[in-house]
Amino acid sequence: MFRRMILRTMAAAAVLVLAACSTTRVVHEWTPSGATGHAMMKQVLVMGISKEEGPRRAFEDTFSAALARAGVKAVPMYSVHPELGEADQDKLKKIIADSGVDGILVTRVVRVDSREQVRSNPWPAPYMGFYGYYHDVWVNYDTVSTYKVAVMETNLWSGKDGKLLWSGTTESTDPEDVKRIINDFSSVVTETLAKQGLIPPLPKS
């Protein structure tokens, strides 16, 4: 009985540790060969591609705040183009020129996947005795849970010539928790851009 309690406590602790981890990770990133050695971005226009005003503004504000922690002056797209939808090319060029940005960061949701996770529960040992073993084989089934993953693409472009400087693909779990996803996503991508030398390094906490 004591051994079973220990195993269950350890399993519960593992779940709590996993829950505390970031919900976003970078699964792929690419930097064009001609973009290496590019000057760090000091002013960036932040665009979230969405047809919904609330999520778009929340994303652009949160990402701008994350970039600001690295000393980057970030401009949310909605502040200079409040209309939803695509801006025509001439207007977009004027927005970029008037904003004085040297970088344009664009994020879009590629897809949302449904995935399964199998969690193996600790199996009882036969030496525990027949009755304890018989009970535990019924309650310690492996559990299968379904969860969703939002796959997002982020590109950083030069504000001067429109050339691609960096592209990354991320995966975020539990996309229904929009606020948490946006916060984690913004932090993870900002840290990645800083490590690549595309923006100034983040201050040490």
What DSSP character marks residue 107? E
Strand partners, 177: none
Q: What is the predicted pLDDT for the residue at 9?
A: 32
Tens of pLDDT, residue by residue over 44-80, are 999 999 989 999 999 999 999 999 999 999 999 999 9
Q: What is the predicted pLDDT for the residue at 153?
A: 97
Q: In the chain, how many H helices and how many E strands?
A: 6, 6
Question: Which residue, among 151, 94, 167, 124, has the nearest Cα to 8 in the 3D structure?
Answer: 124
Task: Please report where in the chains the tokens 């025509």 appear, as a residue.
Answer: 88
Q: What is the predicted pLDDT for the residue at 14?
A: 35
Tokens for 155, please give them: 């590109």
Written as one string, the DSSP assignment of 39-64 is PPPSEEEEEE--S-HHHHHHHHHHHH
Least confident of 91-95, 153-157, 187-191: 91-95
Please give the radius of gyration of the chain, using alpha carbons only, rounded to the nearest integer.
Answer: 23
Above 60 in pLDDT, residue 118?
Answer: yes
Read off the pLDDT of each residue in 126-133 and give the average, rounded to a whole number: 70
CATH number listed for the domain at residues 23-195: 3.40.50
Share of the chain above pLDDT 70, in %: 80
Task: Please report where in the chains the tokens 């690549």 appear, as a residue.
Answer: 196
Least confident of 19-33, 34-48, 61-75, 160-174: 19-33
Q: What is the predicted pLDDT for the residue at 37?
A: 61
Q: Which whole-number Å values give the CA distances from 149 to 24, 105, 112, 131, in the listed order?
A: 9, 22, 6, 41
Q: What is the predicted pLDDT for the residue at 119?
A: 75
Cβ atoms of residues 139 and 7 within 8 Å: no
Instruction: Give the H/E segment covering residue 144.
Output: strand 143-158
